[in-house]
């Protein structure tokens, strides 16, 4: 926080030209900015501005914040690349006064020369999952989606036990897992993605695969594994996302999970980078190749979400995670570091 205070103090002494902050937006939603700073700090707050003036080589325009997904400030502190909600990408020069934000610790001003990236989110959508299985109640074959989006799952021979948060499910064989059928949950058009869960491994199976959108036979959109054992050797822990146009991105870590210990993991894809989080901290990142930036997540037809295993083939006996899972969540947005940390640190 000292570094942040120092940064903010310095910024408040700066006087940059104020330009074009007064334009109207078309929404009444409260927008929040998540601001990444050059020194590694991160601040979330409600801005006083409602739009950003941008000079491109071909036009001068004013972009409402509500239409922006995120923008990145380049090293010259003037040029910004915008990713818009409709998939458009724009690049131009921004001429901004210090950004005024109502943050948790009061009003602050941040000069753009200290900013590397800004994510825009709408109150009420950011940080809320589009699928949430809390597993707090044994409902037989049914798993009610607690997100309110109706993406209920089907439980296959799972056991319900006391967990790190209420109850969770035990998946102790290849026959115990949870599915959510396509097209109930469609990833079509998604440009960002977050998956998160608590897990505990009782013994290492071959794959240790927790989420699989699709399966190993048909392919799929994404998967996250915690690393199993194959041929006596520990397997990597991998978060991978398949993108349209045949692209993909994957983060590979050494197997980290000790037996009988709870971990929180999250996989985040934001159109530029894939990140694998362990217990609220980034454990590994992989950048998307330039030609695949902002590609949508692949959505092969007719594949289900599988939680706890990765194959529909009964002959594959060891494709599950042998242990427990809890608080399974999927978001159609890329959560930022703070939001992932909150998932990990929220009350047990």
User: Could you tell me the smallest distance in angstroms from the CB atom of residue 145 to Ca ion?
Assistant: 13
Among 70, 119, 121, 134, binds Ca ion (CB under 5 A): 134
| 163 or 322: CB nearest Ca ion | 163
Contact 289, 133 (CB under 8 A): no
Residue reference for tokens 């690393």: 227
- Listed in sequence order, the residues at least 6 apart from 187 whose beta carbon sits closer than 8 Å to its beta carbon are 193, 213, 221, 297, 299, 332
Would you list the DSSP string of 55-121?
A: E-SS-EEEEEGGGEEEEEE-TTSSEEEEEETTS-EEEEEE--PPEEEEETTEEEEE-GGGEEEEEEE
Q: Which two tokens stand for residue 70?
A: 């995120």
Please choose, out of 125-133, 200-208, 242-250, 319-327, the segment that lies near Ca ion by the rule CB under 5 A.
Answer: 319-327
Q: 271 by DSSP, 3-state: which?
A: coil
| 135 or 204: CB nearest Ca ion | 135
User: Could you tell me the smallest distance in angstroms from the CB atom of residue 55 to Ca ion?
Assistant: 51
Kindly state whether residue 165 participates in binding Ca ion, applying the rule CB under 5 A.
Answer: yes
User: Could you tell me the smallest distance in angstroms from the CB atom of residue 165 to Ca ion?
Assistant: 4
| 23 or 136: CB nearest Ca ion | 136
| 27 or 342: CB nearest Ca ion | 342
User: Could you tell me the smallest distance in angstroms from the CB atom of residue 136 to Ca ion?
Assistant: 5
Among 50, 136, 152, 337, binds Ca ion (CB under 5 A): 136
Among 309, 326, 332, 340, binds Ca ion (CB under 5 A): 326
Site string for Ca ion, 23-42 (x = CB under 5 A): --------------------
What does each C-alpha distance from 255 to 68, 236, 237, 260 come to in angstroms?
37, 5, 5, 14
Kindly state whether residue 138 participates in binding Ca ion, applying the rule CB under 5 A.
Answer: no
Nearest to 171 by CA among 181, 179, 159: 159
Strand residues in 111-236 grouped as ranges (E): 115-122, 131-133, 142-143, 153-156, 159-162, 167-171, 177-180, 193-203, 209-215, 219-225, 229-230, 233-234
User: Could you tell me the smallest distance in angstroms from the CB atom of residue 160 to Ca ion?
Assistant: 9
Size of the site for Ca ion (CB under 5 A): 6
Kindly state whether residue 280 participates in binding Ca ion, applying the rule CB under 5 A.
Answer: no
Please choose, out of 116-124, 127-135, 139-147, 289-297, the segment that lies near Ca ion by the rule CB under 5 A.
Answer: 127-135
Residue nearest to Ca ion (CB): 166
User: Could you tell me the smallest distance in angstroms from the CB atom of residue 133 to Ca ion?
Assistant: 8
Residue reference for tokens 């362990």: 278
User: Could you tell me the smallest distance in angstroms from the CB atom of residue 135 to Ca ion?
Assistant: 5
User: Could you tell me the smallest distance in angstroms from the CB atom of residue 266 to Ca ion?
Assistant: 16
Kindly state whether residue 166 participates in binding Ca ion, applying the rule CB under 5 A.
Answer: yes
* DSSP-derived secondary structure letter, 30: P
Question: What is the binding site for Ca ion (CB under 5 A)?
Answer: 134-136, 165-166, 326
């Amino acid at each position: 926080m000292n570094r942040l205070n120092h940064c903010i103090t310095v910024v408040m002494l700066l006087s940059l030209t104020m330009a074009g902050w007064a334009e109207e937006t078309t929404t009444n939603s409260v927008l929040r900015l998540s601001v990444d700073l050059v020194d590694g700090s991160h601040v979330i707050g409600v801005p006083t501005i409602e739009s950003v003036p941008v000079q491109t080589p071909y036009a001068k325009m004013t972009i409402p914040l509500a239409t922006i997904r995120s923008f990145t400030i380049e090293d010259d502190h003037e040029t910004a690349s915008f990713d818009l909600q409709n998939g458009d990408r724009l690049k131009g020069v921004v001429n901004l006064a210090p950004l005024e934000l109502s943050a948790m610790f009061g009003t602050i001003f941040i000069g753009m020369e200290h900013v590397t990236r800004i994510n825009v989110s709408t109150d009420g959508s950011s940080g809320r999952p589009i699928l949430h299985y809390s597993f707090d109640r044994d409902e037989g074959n049914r798993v009610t989606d607690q997100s309110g989006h109706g993406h209920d799952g089907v439980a296959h021979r799972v056991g319900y036990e006391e967990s790190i948060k209420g109850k969770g499910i035990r998946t102790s064989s290849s026959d115990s897992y949870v599915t959510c059928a396509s097209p109930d949950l469609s990833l079509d058009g998604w440009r960002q993605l977050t998956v998160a869960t608590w897990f505990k491994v009782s013994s290492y199976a071959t794959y240790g695969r927790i989420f699989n959108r699709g399966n190993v036979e048909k392919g799929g959109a994404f998967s996250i594994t915690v690393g199993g054992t194959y041929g006596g050797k520990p397997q990597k822990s991998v978060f991978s996302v398949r993108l349209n146009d045949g692209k993909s991105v994957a983060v590979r870590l050494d197997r980290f999970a000790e037996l009988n210990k709870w971990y929180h993991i999250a996989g985040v894809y934001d159109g530029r980078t894939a990140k694998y989080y362990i217990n609220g901290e980034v454990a590994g990142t992989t950048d998307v190749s330039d030609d695949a930036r902002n590609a949508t997540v692949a959505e092969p037809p007719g594949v289900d979400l599988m939680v706890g295993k990765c194959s529909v083939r009964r002959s594959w006996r060891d494709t599950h995670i042998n242990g427990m899972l809890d608080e399974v969540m999927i978001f159609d947005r890329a959560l930022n570091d703070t939001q992932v940390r909150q998932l990990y640190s929220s009350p047990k």
